[in-house]
Amino acid sequence: MENIKSGNVKAEVVSEKPKVADYMTTEVITLSPQDTVSDAIELIYRTGHDGFPVVDGEVLVGYVSSRDLLKRSPDEKIMDVMNRKLRVARPFMDLTDAARVMFRMGIGKLPVIDESGKLVGIISNADIIRSQIERASPRKVERLKKTLETIHSKPVKIVKGGVSVENLIPTQTRIYADELEGRIYELKKGLAEPIVVIKKDGRYFLVDGHHRVIAAQRLGIKEMEAYILEVDSSVKLGIEEMVTKRGIKSLRDIEILDEVHHPLVEITLKNREG
């Protein structure tokens, strides 16, 4: 029933115009046209997702959402309930173009296909938000603020101040040891750009600065300067749902990868070897 479509993970090189391929998820849970409504419901309970691309072999043929399953017989085939009129993205598209489609159409995810119609990934609101806050700057934080306000139709307040390292809830579970060493060096030299957090109901979700925070923890630094985006308690954050599903509770849930180079370091090494 459940298929995982994996693509090659590309290094995320920050550019002026990031592409869909730079931020899309390449491991996608899918359904087959021959699966049943019962299979789809079980998958929703197990993963917490509210919809899945439908593939025939590797080709995208439809999409089924939780709404499509309402009042349907458990034995009905997915091919009979799925939506065949699809909005999709391409890997080479500017991320902002994909975001505009999603915002205007009121959809949270876009399947990503190649020239042959093969499913190669999926792009979500959470991926778009992540793209806005890498290499944090006041301008990018302001763009994140506007993105959150657009998605949730609620005002977001930005505050710059100190946050307790121990109180941070990470939104990624892996960092690179070589990048961590670089961040430790920078902190020792007093070179620390602010991290970015989203505050909701007294909880602080770390969305940018995972290497910096772990470096600070290693050095015994208790508080870090941050851009704090305060959201209303009624806002249903995608990252909040994600950390709940993955069981992420504290910085102790972050794994440090010793054997794998940070993608940017890997590219540098390859260029030097060439």
pLDDT given at position 126 = 78
**Is residue 238 predicted with pLDDT exceeding 60?**
yes
User: What's the whole-number mean pLDDT along residues 231-250?
Assistant: 90
The secondary structure of the chain as a DSSP string is --EEE--PPPP----SS-BHHHH-BS-EEEB-TTSBHHHHHHHHHHH--SEEEEEETTEEEEEEETGGGTT--TTSBGGGTSB-S---B-TTSBHHHHHHHHHHHT-SEEEEE-TTSBEEEEEEHHHHHHHHHSS--HHHHHHHHHHHHHHH-S--EEEEEEEEGGGEEES-SEEEHHHHHHHHHHHHTT--PPEEEEEETTEEEEEE-HHHHHHHHHTT--EEEEEEEE--TT---HHHHHHHHHT--SGGGPEEESSS--HHHHHHHHHHH-
Q: Which CATH number fits domain 3-128: 3.10.580.10, 3.40.190.10, 3.40.640.10, 3.40.50.460?
A: 3.10.580.10
Percent of the chain clearing pLDDT 70 (strictly above): 84
Indicate the pTM of the whole model: 0.51
Q: How confident is the model at residue 265 (pLDDT cuts 50, 70, 90)?
A: very low
pLDDT given at position 199 = 96
pLDDT tens track for 27-75: 899 999 999 999 999 999 998 888 999 999 999 999 999 999 998 999 9
User: What's the whole-number mean pLDDT along residues 258-265?
Assistant: 54
Higher-confidence residue of 230 and 7: namely 230
pLDDT tens track for 111-153: 999 999 999 999 988 778 767 655 556 777 888 899 999 988 9
Domain ranges in the chain with CATH number 3.90.1530.10: 135-273
pLDDT tens track for 76-103: 999 999 999 899 999 999 888 898 888 8
Domain ranges in the chain with CATH number 3.10.580.10: 3-128
Q: How confident is the model at residue 269 (pLDDT cuts 50, 70, 90)?
A: very low
pLDDT given at position 260 = 54
Q: Domain 135-273, what fold? A: 3.90.1530
Using only the alpha carbons of the chain, give its radius of gyration. Answer: 20
pLDDT given at position 92 = 92
The CA angle 88-92-95, to the nearest 5 degrees, is 70
The residue with tokens 């020239």 is 115
